[in-house]
A and B are shown apart, each in its own frame.
Chain A
Amino acid sequence: MIDPAKPRNDAVGDAERTCSPALLEMIGITKCYPAVVANDGIDLQVRPGEIHAILGENGAGKSTLMKLIFGVATPDGGEIRWKGQPVSMENPATARSLGIGMVFQHFSLFETVSITENISLTVPGTLQDLSGRIRRMSEEFGLPINPDALVHNLSVGERQRVEIIRCLLQEPELLILDEPTSVLPLPYVRQLFATLRRLAERGIAILYISHKLEEIREICHRATILRQGRVRGTVDPARTSASELARMMIGREIPHARHKRASRSGRVHLRVADLSYNDPDPHSVDLKQISFEVRAGEVFGIAGVSGNGQFALARLLSGEETLPAEESGRIVLFDKPIGSMGAEDRRARGLAFVPEERIGRGAVPDLSLSQNVLLTGHRKGMVRRGFIRRRQRDRFAERCIDEMDVRCAGHRAPATSLSGGNLQKFIVGRELLLEPTTFVVSQPTWGIDVGAAALVRQRLVDLRDAGNAIVVISEELEELFEISDRMAVMYEGRMSVPVATTSVRPEQVGQMMIGHFDAAAPRQTA
């Protein structure tokens, strides 16, 4: 129970954290799915007041483990104990009633109503009363929000705060956070960490799921590392090096993308000139006068917190959304206006695109990998006189699986059976096999594990080195600093003036991401 007036838990020292009895204990937890053993004899102990990291690649079993704790799924074997008592988590309501709260990676808030109204759906009490409690809670834990604000006006960081407050109002003793920083810009990450430390001081245990090593080393007291469904060790992350953690997590060293200097002399492949777009969705941001160009042999990074117009921009670049004919010249590919052209025609001209949503957009979930290859690859000799040539199609799919090291049960496996990282490798591989001369990639490594991310980045750099133009839209600054040659930042539908990656620091770009576009150009204004 969190009661700000109660002094008992105000400072949980190291000693208490290590010696106090476990709040949550899992003993030999096993969960099998038809194709895989997702959790294989997991032992885990979480004590009050500790921030405990669950570290692992995608497919390592983190999500399954959380589902078991939160009662979304039930284990096939093993025992879960809560304060020493064996419990069975039948459903999330059971978990909540025990005092477990969870903040999911993807928020579940209704856009059109206020914060208080959203929270009132799950927390009892009158709106007025709730509004006061939310305000007090937000001050207490450094989560500044206005309870009366409408959700669609909120930034991602604010939405996350709403989710956290919603959990806190139910007075949890254990809070589970699933990849909480994957959608946050740098300044908000700092605030979040301050909040988490304060919660831990009050005696709340926090399970922090992530694959970001530096974050875990900074904030977590203990880290349990999962690989292939098994616990590979529990360590004190602050006393373990990042490379050591990575080795435990993926079983080998992390490869980094090799990066040669870009040549800026190449031909302009893609030019966007003064592109404005009114998004028909009133909750989305309109694009305002966006201009940039991308040349042969360079990676152009577009940074920014998602929800600032990147979604619409990506759709306009891919051809999923088209411009009216008279504005076609706002997007030019090799001197040819393509703004009013559909996705298939653009692809025929060498522009390939990888969307941020893999399931349902980049791939059809219920169809096999072979059939998914047809989606964009049908020009590569897979269709003759309107009929599908299965052998060519299957061969293409197998090549894609081979070259990208996609872990799957073969080309007949349905796309849904792949983990996020493997599906992303497959989609990127499929588009690379189209031999694009201009490649637009949205969130290339969103939610995928370190190994897969490194492979995807390396392929992008290789494609660049072969003299092609690449646009990477990403929320992950580290990634853009690793692979892009120039970058621009999007904020509220506008794009900053592009800058060379080597001439800016991450802190400056972080400032640009919250609207201070002049942060990266102090010398120019002087």
Chain B
Amino acid sequence: MMTPMPAWRMVPREQPAVKALAAVPLVTIGLTILCSVILFTALGSSPSVVLYNFFVDPFTSAYNIGELLIKASPLILIAQGLAIGFRARIWNIGAEGQLTIGAIAASLIPITWSRSESALILPAMILLGATAGLAWAGIAAFFRTRYNANEIIVTLMLNQIAFQLLYYLVTGPLRDPMGFNFPQSAPFPDAALYPPLFSGAGVRANLSVLITILVSLAAWILVSKSFSSFRLLVGGIAPNAARYAGFSGSRAIWISLLVGGAAAGLAGVGEIAGPIGKLQRILSPGYGFAAIIVAFLGGLHPLGIVMAGLFMAVIYIGSDSAMLAADIPTSAPVVFQGFILVFYLAAHVFVRYEFRRGSSLAPGRRT
């Protein structure tokens, strides 16, 4: 009896394919672009206009490049912090909430001293914002280490608490008394705003870009050279080996969540002390969630994250401009991010598995 079986089978690779690993971001981005073009064309937009607006327009003016940097900056900053935890398999999904809490805490200073011109005001905001984000993430670390509560759930729920707290504050205690009942705080004094990098050029890119570059450099050095980062890595990829070595599991949880929280809090300061200039109901277009994608697209490597953050920012800027020029829907950037995540995960399957044609022609067994 002959049984032909011309089906494709998934076979785990004997060793990870290095070439495939390198190809993952390229394949992901390529397929994302392809599918987006198909989708937007189906919606009646001209693909060349969409593509031009997505990928060329963001680079056409100094203003646009400035916008690109200002969008990329919080994404990269948050992703650098999250990646430290992700390498240790600690899943902080609450960066958006940590960003919100960091922004709220930092805003208390310019709201309290609204006429101050002190040079200390900005450093104090940075410190307070980062600390508040860190403390907010610390709640999840506490519940995880003390009660073994899953940090994904806790950080996710803490997001909602942070949002509600923000809504309460901007509609109540922190609302601008002169603001015609708009749910927002009084605008911050100049001393509480990040100075622009290129003064007078009309470019909005500010100090936050420099902070992000410094944080990325620090992350790179720590990840590649520090013993702490080695401990975290081992805890993530081989928990039993970490236990055997005596690396503390709860320490890994604390470090991962606190660093991620501080980075998100810092990004929150960058928003209120940057383009927004006050506390309001909407602080971020989902940077805290998009940063998760940035972290993975960048291969959890500090340099990769910088590239991935820039790419993601191109999408934000590009979809804004494409919305105007090619009349695509407002949900375009979210669709785009969804494409990236799905294709990234799909591409990763090929790194770990290969597909073989199963043509088994086994003679049947004698009975």
Contact = CB atoms under 8 A, between A and B. Distances in A.
B213 interface: no
B227 to A, nearest CB: 5
A375 B365 contact: no
Contact of A98 (B240, B248, B365): B365
A376 interface: yes
A388 interface: yes
B228 A88 contact: no
Contacts of A383: 227
A396 to B, nearest CB: 14
A374 interface: yes
Interface residues of A, number: 42
Contacts of A320: 243-244, 246
Contacts of B364: 97
B362 interface: yes
Interface hub of A33, A94, A355 (most chain B Cβ within 10 A): A94
Given A34-B15, A94-B360, A319-B246, A388 B226 contact: yes
Contacts of B244: 318, 320, 343, 353, 355, 361-362, 375-376
A367 B362 CA distance: 40
A362 B227 contact: no
A98 B362 contact: yes
B43 interface: no
B229 to A, nearest CB: 9
A355 B226 CA distance: 26
Contacts of B228: 386
Interface in A337-376: 342-347, 353, 355, 357, 360-367, 371, 374-376
Interface in B212-256: 225-228, 230, 234, 237-238, 240-241, 243-248
Nearest to A342: B246
A343 B227 contact: no
Interface residues of B, number: 26
B246 A87 contact: no
Nearest to B227: A383
A344 to B, nearest CB: 3
Contacts of A363: 241
Contact of A345 (B237, B246, B247): B246
B246 A364 contact: no
B15 A375 contact: no
Contacts of A88: 360-362
A378 B234 CA distance: 14
B87 to A, nearest CB: 12
A345 B245 CA distance: 10
A342 B14 CA distance: 36
Contacts of A345: 246
Nearest to B239: A360
B228, B244, B248, B363 interface centre (most CB from chain A within 10 Å): B244
A90 interface: yes
A85 interface: yes
Contacts of A375: 234, 241, 244-245
Interface string B314-336: 00000000000000000000000
Nearest to A97: B365
A388 B362 contact: no
Contacts of A144: none
B246 A344 contact: yes
A91 interface: yes
A353 B246 CA distance: 11
A363 B237 CA distance: 11
A322 B248 CA distance: 12
Interface string A33-49: 11000000000000000
Interface string A74-115: 000000001001011111001001110000000000000000
B172 interface: no
Contacts of B15: 34
Contacts of B365: 97-99
B123 interface: no
Contacts of B243: 320, 343, 361
B358 interface: yes
Contacts of A376: 244-245
B241 A364 contact: yes
Contacts of B240: 357, 360-361
Given A99-B365, A388-B230, A91 B360 contact: yes
Interface string A309-330: 0000000001110000000000
Nearest to A364: B238
A90 B11 CA distance: 12
A91 B362 CA distance: 10
Contacts of A361: 238, 240-241, 243-244
Contact of A342 (B234, B237, B248, B362): B248
Nearest to B359: A90
Nearest to A95: B362
Contacts of B14: 33-34
Nearest to A86: B363
B362 A94 contact: yes
A374 B360 contact: no
Interface in A23-80: 33-34
A87 B226 contact: no
A56 B234 CA distance: 34
Nearest to A383: B227
A103 B248 CA distance: 39
Most buried by B among A343, A363, A383: A343
A97 B5 CA distance: 15
A388 B223 CA distance: 11
Contacts of B245: 343-344, 375-376
A99 B364 CA distance: 10
B316 to A, nearest CB: 35
A98 B358 CA distance: 18
Contacts of B360: 88, 90-91, 94
A318 B225 CA distance: 28
A33 B237 CA distance: 25
A360 B241 contact: yes
A97 B1 CA distance: 12
Contacts of A87: 362-363
Interface string A375-409: 11010000100111000000000000000000000
A294 B362 CA distance: 59
Contacts of B237: 364, 366-367
Nearest to A362: B244
A364 B244 CA distance: 11
Given A85-B363, A98-B362, A98-B365, A387 B241 contact: no
Contacts of B234: 364, 367, 375
A82 B365 CA distance: 10
B358 A386 contact: no
A468 B358 CA distance: 57
Contacts of A99: 365
Contacts of A318: 244
B241 to A, nearest CB: 5
Interface in B145-203: none
Contacts of A90: 5, 358, 360, 362
Contacts of A94: 360, 362
Given A91-B360, A343-B244, A360 B227 contact: no
A-B interface, 4 closest residue pairs, ranked by CB to CB distance from nearest: A343-B246, A344-B246, A90-B360, A364-B238
Interface of A: 33-34, 82, 85, 87-91, 94, 97-99, 318-320, 342-347, 353, 355, 357, 360-367, 371, 374-376, 378, 383, 386-388
Given A320-B246, A388-B227, 11 more contacts: A90-B362, A98-B362, A98-B363, A98-B365, A99-B365, A319-B246, A320-B243, A343-B245, A362-B244, A375-B234, A375-B244
5 contacts: A94-B362, A361-B240, A362-B241, A364-B234, A367-B234
